[in-house]
Chains A and B, each alone.
Chain A
Amino acid sequence: MNKRKVTFTVNGERHELVVEPNELLLNVLREKLGLTGTKYACGKGQCGACTVLVNGESFLSCLTLAVAVDGAEIRTIEGVAEPDGTLDPIQEAFLDSSAIQCGFCTPGMVLMGRELLNRNPRATEEEIREQIKGNLCRCTGYFSIVRAIKSCCEK
């Protein structure tokens, strides 16, 4: 297969990469860019652990070809905090609501929460649950995660 050149921005940094046409964004992020915060847990778009934001919208990186995001702005969990390390309010909320157990779903959940708050800062609990229903968490029963996102919503 002919390799292709792609250019995209990841967490504000521009990357020019040569990829296989069938190479997944998940693998490019993890293996080529060393951004291992994006997780593999099913490879079929069934669990949400590989969630990233592409131009502000949530994408499953295990179902997204790297060539399909040519020119896009991508944000991974490593790019949610400010470059100086200042945490985003959604990250603070996850810490304060004890919404982290094993932590494997956390990157996806944080990004889904961030996307929702950008779009709808007054989200209701129903809307929060709807937003994260594609992201599996086996540890928490979702309660603390919902509380964390809820605590960031304007009343």
Chain B
Amino acid sequence: MEQRVFSTIGKVTRRKEGIARVTGKEVFSSDVTLPGMLFARVLRSPYPHAKVLSVDTEEAEKMGAICVTPDEVPQIRYNERQVSIPSKTYRDRTVLPEVVRHVGEGVVGVAARTEALAEEAVRRVKVEWERLPAVFDPFEAMKEGAPAVHEDVMLGDVRLPIKNNIACVREVSEGDIEEGFSIADFIVEEEFRTGRAYHTQLETKAVVCRPEPDGGITVWPTAQSIHNTRQLLGRIFDIPLSKVNVVRVPIGGAFGSSIQMNTAVAVCAALALKAKRPVKLCLTREEDMYDHCKYPSIIRLKYGIKKDGTITAGEMQTVVDIGAHNIQAYPLLGCMAGWFVSLYRMPHMHFHGTAVYTNKAPACAMQGYGNPQVSFAVESMMDILAEKVGMDPVDLRLKNYVGLGETFWGQGPTVRSIIRSCGVEEMLSKGKEKIGWDKRGKPEEKRGRYRRGIGVGRSFHTSGTGAPMPGEVIDYSTAMVKVNEDGSVDYLTALMCHGGGTLEAGAKIVAEVMGVPLDKVGISPSDTRSTGYDVCTHATRGVYCGGAAIKKAAESAKKILLEFASRLLEVNPDALQIRPDEELGQGVIFLEGAKDKAITVGEVAKTAQLKGWGTAIAVESHRQVNCPPCFVTNFIEVEVDTETGNVRPTRAVAAVDAGTVINPDLAAGQLEGGLCRGIGLALLEDTDYDRDTGELTCGASLVDYKTYTAVDMPFVDDLEAFFANTYEPSGPFGAKGVGEAANNCTAGTVANAVYNAIGIRFKEAPITPEKVLKALKENGAAKRRAERND
């Protein structure tokens, strides 16, 4: 039977990691210090494309520095992201390359006693370069004769020649697209773009590596998956996995930037193995900004729609500028197709995606994995279509959204599941009320310098990548739960928390299953040697997939515990229950209605130990066979300053359908943070490159890149976050994810709000003041022309 009344789940509590973080005691990778540790720096390419002809490290080594050069490291080609199955994994990286493909790509690793000495040693390394022609625009890159970023790559174990810089292509069709358009009353086609935003995770990527006397290595990295980091290091450096121990370290923000094993990890490992001493490598902010960014998008979108608002067909063509390396473009394109298909019903659809290499920083997953980009286009288009057929934008969405009982593509065409919980209607109708939708007015009615508009947007994200059949993406988690002799419980998993509360949710799940108070559940330190495999904390899978494994392990440990208790109480174990007893500070095992049949969890555990029965401990691996969508809805009000072109968010309502909400405060926090980052994608964030130098035009500086600060966000009373009242039958205690969903519809919502304010449709994000002013000017001129002609 579904459990819907909980002792711990859904309660607001102080998060367990909070105390260390608020007192400065939390140890991040950059805080790890080991005896005899050296500090590393990396000599990086000043050119966007060049061949390394020679490296001379003599002067650096004279200073006592340890150096590793491209010809000293294994030339194994790898892909830093190990989430797809091998035959779908494109491999184009080496630890240190002989050809650099973007400014900032590392070529020589150097370690010395201090960071300053390592810097000095890097300056003494001499590299002879042969500059190669570079390409920065994806359409230029696809032309015949364009400079080749890669001659070939590996796909699985097969060499794959790269033609016209096309890294990979994906095409998906359902129904008959021509038929779909032919039955439409209107066909609308537009092009949308989003920028190459930078994750701006506050902690730059860092790692400490310690070579072990047995030939192994211990690693403390910024990582979203310790097991994938271990597998890669083992393969690259040919060390048995039993000797590669990767430690879970709290991460100072991720947003997708560390789904892959970071390049710094491999360089640092090479240095540590050569130096035979621990080595620390922390990227500077400049290095970090040349290390990764969000996938940008150019999306050509075409819909067919009937007069009554029924969508008949949809076609999406996208070109993604992936930069210098193909970290995960193939699954990305599949996911983009999946997000497109799963937003609104289309009997006939066609998707074509192309990922293109350029000589820029490599793009990787960033909160939403193509979904904010797709949703920006589709949600903008829904408003365009609504206007075309004369419907309210909310009503058009309600008419066409993919909901209960329908098929959801959680991870591209190969990962499909049936939607079993859906709060879309509830969120749209409540959200409308809360924001004052019906009073928003029309753009032509708005006057004055400051004009306000309200926009709506909706989207979702997958909860994990589970499916009934194994697909192209690996997805399972492992957890261990153990009852201690005082009635407290430890739980252990390789799952990672990026700040959103994943491990806290795990602790609540354990407390709920075991019937013990939350403060008696401990989150065990984790490393690859002591944990079973967990694919990664990505794809909004932490609670839904990882939490399900934790629940399964807790249930197994509970079964053992109750069997021990049944011997002591002389009661059938199936008749026993556990409840948390705040006064005793632990769980009490009891038989309902029998006062003399009760015993504390601690007493059972201790007695079982004394009698030699064993420990109530269990390890379980679990794969979810679904990936339910966690739906999200935003209503945002913006104010456009028609004199400066500045757009300011003034009010917002953000809602998520996360099923049972395990950490209400932290889930709301994810919605709030996602909103801020989504508004950034809409209005502010992009990285551009100087076509001559290949350098970032923002100078790799946070201030010139620009992210929102506290003064740019609406006041706390002008923001409301709420949850749909749903229950996901396949989730742990009815839970789905939140994570990435939180920002997926925001950029589209903002564009719709800007349209409602000034009547101008912006199809290219970020919607900067310059673009707004230019459009207002053109719009004014066009209006004046129209008036003259009247």
Asked whether A37 lies within 8 Å of B711 as measured between CB atoms, the reply is no
Asked whether B15 lies within 8 Å of A136 as measured between CB atoms, the reply is no
Min Cβ gap B696→A in Å is: 15
Complex contacts, A135 vs chain B, CB 8 Å:
709-710
User: Counting CB contacts under 8 A, is A10 at the interface?
Assistant: no
Kindly identify, within residues 700 to 742 of chain B, every residue whose CB is under 8 Å from any CB belonging to chain A.
701-703, 707-711, 713, 715-716, 719
- A106-B21, A138-B707 known; A46+B30 contact, CB < 8 A: no
User: Counting CB contacts under 8 A, is B665 at the interface?
Assistant: yes
Kindly identify, within residues 490 to 506 of chain B, every residue whose CB is under 8 Å from any CB belonging to chain A.
498-501
Asked whether B709 lies within 8 Å of A136 as measured between CB atoms, the reply is yes
Asked whether A100 lies within 8 Å of B30 as measured between CB atoms, the reply is no
Complex contacts, A150 vs chain B, CB 8 Å:
716
Asked whether A141 lies within 8 Å of B675 as measured between CB atoms, the reply is yes
User: Counting CB contacts under 8 A, is B22 at the interface?
Assistant: yes
Alpha-carbon separation in the docked complex, A96 to B25 (Å): 18
Alpha-carbon separation in the docked complex, A77 to B21 (Å): 10
Min Cβ gap B344→A in Å is: 28
- A76-B24, A104-B28 known; A41+B676 contact, CB < 8 A: no
Asked whether A40 lies within 8 Å of B30 as measured between CB atoms, the reply is yes
Asked whether B498 lies within 8 Å of A77 as measured between CB atoms, the reply is no
Asked whether A143 lies within 8 Å of B672 as measured between CB atoms, the reply is yes
Asked whether B710 lies within 8 Å of A40 as measured between CB atoms, the reply is no
Complex contacts, B30 vs chain A, CB 8 Å:
36, 39-40
- A46-B702, A125-B716 known; A140+B672 contact, CB < 8 A: yes
Complex contacts, B252 vs chain A, CB 8 Å:
39, 41, 102-104
Our pick among A95, A107, A132, A137 for the contact of B24 (Cβ within 8 Å) is A107
Asked whether B672 lies within 8 Å of A141 as measured between CB atoms, the reply is yes
Asked whether A103 lies within 8 Å of B17 as measured between CB atoms, the reply is yes
User: Counting CB contacts under 8 A, is B18 at the interface?
Assistant: yes
Specify which of A39, A41, A46, A101 lies most central, judged by the most chain B CB atoms within 10 Å of its CB.
A101
User: Counting CB contacts under 8 A, is A78 at the interface?
Assistant: yes
Identity of the chain A residue whose Cβ is nearest the Cβ of B285 in the assembled complex:
A42
Kindly identify, within residues 65 to 108 of chain A, every residue whose CB is under 8 Å from any CB belonging to chain B.
76-78, 80-81, 87, 91, 94-96, 98, 100-107
Asked whether A39 lies within 8 Å of B709 as measured between CB atoms, the reply is no
User: Counting CB contacts under 8 A, is A5 at the interface?
Assistant: no
User: Counting CB contacts under 8 A, is A121 at the interface?
Assistant: no
Alpha-carbon separation in the docked complex, A137 to B203 (Å): 11
Alpha-carbon separation in the docked complex, A40 to B501 (Å): 24
Asked whether A102 lies within 8 Å of B250 as measured between CB atoms, the reply is yes
Number of A-B contacts (CB under 8 A): 175
Asked whether B711 lies within 8 Å of A141 as measured between CB atoms, the reply is no
User: Counting CB contacts under 8 A, is B19 at the interface?
Assistant: yes
Specify which of A41, A43, A133 lies most central, judged by the most chain B CB atoms within 10 Å of its CB.
A41
Asked whether B23 lies within 8 Å of A129 as measured between CB atoms, the reply is no
Alpha-carbon separation in the docked complex, A33 to B501 (Å): 31
Asked whether A146 lies within 8 Å of B500 as measured between CB atoms, the reply is no
Asked whether A139 lies within 8 Å of B499 as measured between CB atoms, the reply is yes
User: Counting CB contacts under 8 A, is B200 at the interface?
Assistant: yes
Min Cβ gap B584→A in Å is: 25
Our pick among A30, A95, A125 for the contact of B22 (Cβ within 8 Å) is A95
- A138-B255, A139-B253 known; A36+B201 contact, CB < 8 A: no
Identity of the chain A residue whose Cβ is nearest the Cβ of B654 in the assembled complex:
A141
Specify which of A77, A102, A136, A144 lies most central, judged by the most chain B CB atoms within 10 Å of its CB.
A102
Asked whether B21 lies within 8 Å of A103 as measured between CB atoms, the reply is yes
Identity of the chain A residue whose Cβ is nearest the Cβ of B116 in the assembled complex:
A20
Complex contacts, B28 vs chain A, CB 8 Å:
39, 104
User: Counting CB contacts under 8 A, is B610 at the interface?
Assistant: no
Identity of the chain A residue whose Cβ is nearest the Cβ of B707 in the assembled complex:
A136
Asked whether A104 lies within 8 Å of B253 as measured between CB atoms, the reply is yes
User: Counting CB contacts under 8 A, is B511 at the interface?
Assistant: no
- A100-B18, A104-B28 known; A138+B200 contact, CB < 8 A: yes
Over the window 197-236 of chain B, the binary record of Cβ atoms lying under 8 Å from chain A Cβ atoms (1 yes, 0 no) is 0011111100000000000000000000000000000000
Kindly identify, within residues 17 to 55 of chain A, every residue whose CB is under 8 Å from any CB belonging to chain B.
30, 34-44, 46-47, 49
Min Cβ gap B12→A in Å is: 7
User: Counting CB contacts under 8 A, is B661 at the interface?
Assistant: no
Alpha-carbon separation in the docked complex, A135 to B672 (Å): 17
Asked whether B711 lies within 8 Å of A103 as measured between CB atoms, the reply is no
Alpha-carbon separation in the docked complex, A132 to B710 (Å): 7
Complex contacts, B501 vs chain A, CB 8 Å:
101
Alpha-carbon separation in the docked complex, A143 to B679 (Å): 14
Asked whether A136 lies within 8 Å of B702 as measured between CB atoms, the reply is yes
Complex contacts, B254 vs chain A, CB 8 Å:
102
Identity of the chain B residue whose Cβ is nearest the Cβ of A145 in the assembled complex:
B710
User: Counting CB contacts under 8 A, is A152 at the interface?
Assistant: no
Alpha-carbon separation in the docked complex, A139 to B253 (Å): 7
User: Counting CB contacts under 8 A, is B10 at the interface?
Assistant: no
User: Counting CB contacts under 8 A, is B282 at the interface?
Assistant: yes
Alpha-carbon separation in the docked complex, A116 to B197 (Å): 33
Complex contacts, A141 vs chain B, CB 8 Å:
672-677, 708, 713
Our pick among A34, A46, A103 for the contact of B499 (Cβ within 8 Å) is A103
User: Counting CB contacts under 8 A, is A130 at the interface?
Assistant: yes
Complex contacts, B701 vs chain A, CB 8 Å:
44, 46
- A136-B202, A142-B710, A144-B672 known; A98+B665 contact, CB < 8 A: yes
- A40-B30, A136-B702 known; A129+B711 contact, CB < 8 A: yes
User: Counting CB contacts under 8 A, is A134 at the interface?
Assistant: yes
User: Counting CB contacts under 8 A, is B378 at the interface?
Assistant: no
Alpha-carbon separation in the docked complex, A145 to B31 (Å): 24
Alpha-carbon separation in the docked complex, A94 to B23 (Å): 11
Kindly identify, within residues 23 to 42 of chain B, every residue whose CB is under 8 Å from any CB belonging to chain A.
23-28, 30-31, 33
Complex contacts, B707 vs chain A, CB 8 Å:
136, 138
User: Counting CB contacts under 8 A, is B522 at the interface?
Assistant: no
Asked whether A143 lies within 8 Å of B24 as measured between CB atoms, the reply is no
Alpha-carbon separation in the docked complex, A63 to B710 (Å): 22
Asked whether B715 lies within 8 Å of A125 as measured between CB atoms, the reply is yes
User: Counting CB contacts under 8 A, is A147 at the interface?
Assistant: yes
Identity of the chain A residue whose Cβ is nearest the Cβ of B709 in the assembled complex:
A133
Complex contacts, A37 vs chain B, CB 8 Å:
23-26
Alpha-carbon separation in the docked complex, A99 to B413 (Å): 38
- A133-B710, A143-B716, A146-B716 known; A98+B669 contact, CB < 8 A: yes
Complex contacts, B26 vs chain A, CB 8 Å:
37, 103
Complex contacts, B23 vs chain A, CB 8 Å:
37, 77-78, 80-81, 87, 91
Alpha-carbon separation in the docked complex, A13 to B250 (Å): 29
Complex contacts, B429 vs chain A, CB 8 Å:
none
User: Counting CB contacts under 8 A, is A60 at the interface?
Assistant: no
Alpha-carbon separation in the docked complex, A142 to B676 (Å): 8
Our pick among A103, A129, A133, A134 for the contact of B250 (Cβ within 8 Å) is A103
Min Cβ gap A74→B in Å is: 13
Alpha-carbon separation in the docked complex, A27 to B254 (Å): 24
Min Cβ gap A142→B in Å is: 4
Specify which of A91, A106, A133 lies most central, judged by the most chain B CB atoms within 10 Å of its CB.
A106
User: Counting CB contacts under 8 A, is B117 at the interface?
Assistant: no
Alpha-carbon separation in the docked complex, A125 to B665 (Å): 20
Closest A-B pairs by Cβ, 5 of them: A37-B24, A141-B676, A104-B252, A103-B21, A77-B24
Contacts beyond the supplied A37-B26, A141-B713, A142-B709: 6 A-B pairs with Cβ under 8 Å: A36-B30, A40-B30, A101-B673, A102-B253, A104-B253, A106-B21
26 contacts between A and B (CB under 8 A): A36-B24, A36-B31, A37-B23, A37-B24, A37-B25, A39-B28, A44-B702, A46-B285, A46-B702, A76-B24, A77-B23, A91-B22, A94-B22, A95-B19, A95-B22, A102-B251, A103-B499, A125-B715, A125-B716, A128-B710, A135-B710, A139-B499, A140-B672, A143-B672, A146-B710, A147-B716
